[in-house]
Amino acid sequence: MSRQLLLLNETLRLQDNPLLNVPKSTDSAYAVILLNQHQFEQSSPKRQALQAALIADFAKQLAARGIQLHCYIAEPWQQLQKLIKAWQIELVVAATPCAIDEVRLFDKVSSLCKVQLLDCNSLLDGQLAPDYQRFPKSCSQFRSQREPELLVSAPIADRCCPSAFIGNGCSPFTSQTETNEQFAAEYSSEGASKRWQNYLQSRAFSAYLQTRNQLYGADYASFLSVALAFGTLSVRQCWQDLQQGPQHPSAVWLKQELFWREYFRHYFRVHGAACFAEAGLARRAPLPKFPKGSSTARENFRRWQQGETGVPFIDANMRLLANTGLMSNRGRQNVASYLVFELGVDWRLGATFFEQQLLDFDVASNWGNWAYIAGAGEGPARHFNVMKQSLQYDKDAEFVSLLLPDINSTLTGPAKHRPYPIHGSTPWQESWAPYLP
Ligand code: FAD
């Protein structure tokens, strides 16, 4: 194909990026980032700044090779129609999507020109791609079937042909968002790759199995998620790095975690729109206690968002999210369970809020985990006893004391986990009684 549009949205890297492997025979190629305007505008300022910083950094890397990155924030279908027409595009090349609205977008695009989708952000593609007709019902089944086969092929050598690319597009980022150098330093290809290599060499990595359930701090986990969500690192490269190092229990566990990510990516392609349905895949997820839009649901949701539920463990995690744009996996599981089961709110509101706030937002990992906890996925619901979890994972209440210094300030140690009065009441559940410090 001689006129190509390469959509590089979640593949912000030069290394192991098959989308950039433009054959020499190509007449012209356009490197494009097209952000969904509605989604972008709903994101937190922190997330917008991160996205802008990473795109600006990628634009610089491409510019150093003489390639112009054309960036748009618009309604995707309308913008793609315009570009395809204006540039007389014959082929659109993009990463294989997970979410149904992107799948539909590419279906529409295929009525205008050819579309080539490459699964460049998954571990299993090509011959290793799962059989979607017989997709396993759990991540552990999926892993035990697929992991033995998983010898990731060497990351693709850079075969990019800069002379094919067309310049004179718009400036790298047309929004008013301030970019943030710190973000670029941490999460750009260069920053994330340095951080990952340092992590692999560190003692922190060998302790991952023991520390992965911590709630905050440096290097208690890999911190790969942001770079994987934006594609500044190649997941296949990370897998290969793990595979080539010593297979100690932490390395094995981390690969297991990468399989959760992988599972949700394929699960989304198998189940499509059902992944976003309130009652879930089997239409048997428990419905929320308070109907969406009711004043109780609205008020409960607001308190949860703002970290004002009266449960220190929940409020500390929600404030951490507001301060940093991130939350540990343990924290995410607990706040999700609390919103759905104690506050009786539709799980999809929580998933949407996370989508707007999380720096590492990834459609399949986020919505897949929410559905999993709410019982809208394949298995039963996961209802956590928040008081038990507080004491298990924050035994000395260091985490809640750090995030909520004024709460339960007359108490010491584990007692700081006691629910506290807020908005005229103190939350209470019978199931907490055996664990109350
Ligand atoms: P590590 O523990 O070091 O794990 C390494 C990598 O494995 C992660 O970067 C991630 O790619 C993958 N991984 C680990 N656990 C999971 C999991 N449960 N599901 C899918 N992948 C996993 N992760 C996201 O990347 N984006 C999201 O939007 C997201 N939303 C979530 C929402 C909820 C309600 C829950 C319970 C979990 C969510 N996760 C999400 C999964 C997990 O919490 C994060 O991947 C993890 O906390 C990121 O930190 P890390 O990179 O240090 O993880």
For 244-269, what is each residue's pLDDT tens digit? 899 999 999 999 999 999 999 999 99
Q: What is the pLDDT of residues 320-374, one digit of tens each?
A: 999 999 999 999 999 999 999 999 999 999 999 999 999 999 999 999 999 999 9
Q: What is the pLDDT of residues 13-58, one digit of tens each?
A: 999 999 998 888 888 999 999 999 999 999 999 999 999 999 999 9
Provide the pairing of β-strand 28-36 with 69-74. Answer: parallel
Residue nearest to atom 36 of ligand 1 (CA): 333
Q: Measured from the CA of 366, which atom of ligand 1 is nearest?
A: 30
Mean pLDDT score of the chain, rounded to an integer?
91
Going from the Cα of 223 to the center of ligand 1, the distance in angstroms, rounded, reads 9
User: Best of 225, 260, 348 to mutate for ligand 1, by most ligand atoms within 8 A of CB?
Assistant: 225
- Predicted confidence at residue 10, as pLDDT, reads 94
Q: What is the pLDDT of residues 166-175, one digit of tens each?
A: 665 455 554 4
Comparing 103-112, 132-141, 352-361, 413-422, the range with the smallest average pLDDT is 132-141
Going from the Cα of 366 to the center of ligand 1, the distance in angstroms, rounded, reads 8
- Predicted confidence at residue 175, as pLDDT, reads 46
Going from the Cα of 346 to the center of ligand 1, the distance in angstroms, rounded, reads 21
**Percentage of the chain exceeding pLDDT 90:** 77
> How many Cβ atoms from other residues are within 10 Å of residue 412's Cβ?
11
Question: What token pair was written down for 417?
Answer: 């986990």
User: Best of 205, 215, 261 to mutate for ligand 1, by most ligand atoms within 8 A of CB?
Assistant: 261
User: Best of 214, 360, 372, 386 to mutate for ligand 1, by most ligand atoms within 8 A of CB?
Assistant: 360
- Predicted confidence at residue 157, as pLDDT, reads 59
End-to-end alpha-carbon separation of the chain, Å? Answer: 67
- Predicted confidence at residue 66, as pLDDT, reads 86
**Percentage of the chain exceeding pLDDT 70:** 92
Q: Which residues line ligand 1 (CB under 6 A)?
A: 212, 221-225, 228-229, 254, 257-258, 260-261, 264, 328-329, 332-333, 336, 354, 358, 360-362, 365-366, 369-370
Going from the Cα of 350 to the center of ligand 1, the distance in angstroms, rounded, reads 16
Q: What is the pLDDT of residues 267-319, one digit of tens each?
A: 999 999 999 998 888 666 677 787 777 899 999 999 999 999 999 999 999 99
Question: What's the CA gap between 239 and 258, in Å, rounded?
Answer: 8
Residue scoring higher pLDDT (150 or 146): 146
- Predicted confidence at residue 22, as pLDDT, reads 87
Is pLDDT of 81 > 60?
yes
Is pLDDT of 149 > 70?
no
Q: What is the pLDDT averaged over residues 212-222?
A: 96
Is pLDDT of 178 > 60?
no
3 state SS for the chain:
CCEEEEECCCCCCCCCCHHHCCCCCCCEEEEEEEEEHHHHHHCCHHHHHHHHHHHHHHHHHHHCCCCCEEEEEECHHHHHHHHHHHCCCCEEEEECCCCHHHHHHHHHHCCCCEEEEECCCCCCCHHHCCCHHHCCCCHHHHHHHHHHHCCCCCCCCCCCCHHHECCCCCCCCCCCCCCCHHHHHHHCHHHHHHHHHHHHHCHHHHCHHHHCCCCCCCCCCCCCHHHHHHCCCCHHHHHHHHHHCCCCHHHHHHHHHHHHHHHHHHHHHHHHHHHHCCCCCCCCCCCCCCCCCCHHHHHHHHHHHHCCCCCHHHHHHHHHHHHHCCCCHHHHHHHHHHHHHHCCCCHHHHHHHHHHHCCCCCHHHHHHHHHHHHCCCCCCCCCCCHHHHHHHHCCCCHHHHHHCCCCCCCCCHHHHHCCCCECCECCCCHHHHHHCC
- Predicted confidence at residue 158, as pLDDT, reads 63
Strand-pairing partners, residue 261, are none
Going from the Cα of 122 to the center of ligand 1, the distance in angstroms, rounded, reads 15
Going from the Cα of 277 to the center of ligand 1, the distance in angstroms, rounded, reads 22
Is pLDDT of 111 > 60?
yes
Going from the Cα of 329 to the center of ligand 1, the distance in angstroms, rounded, reads 6
Residue nearest to atom 13 of ligand 1 (CA): 257
Contact 309, 315 (CB under 8 A): yes
- Predicted confidence at residue 379, as pLDDT, reads 86
Residue scoring higher pLDDT (315 or 160): 315
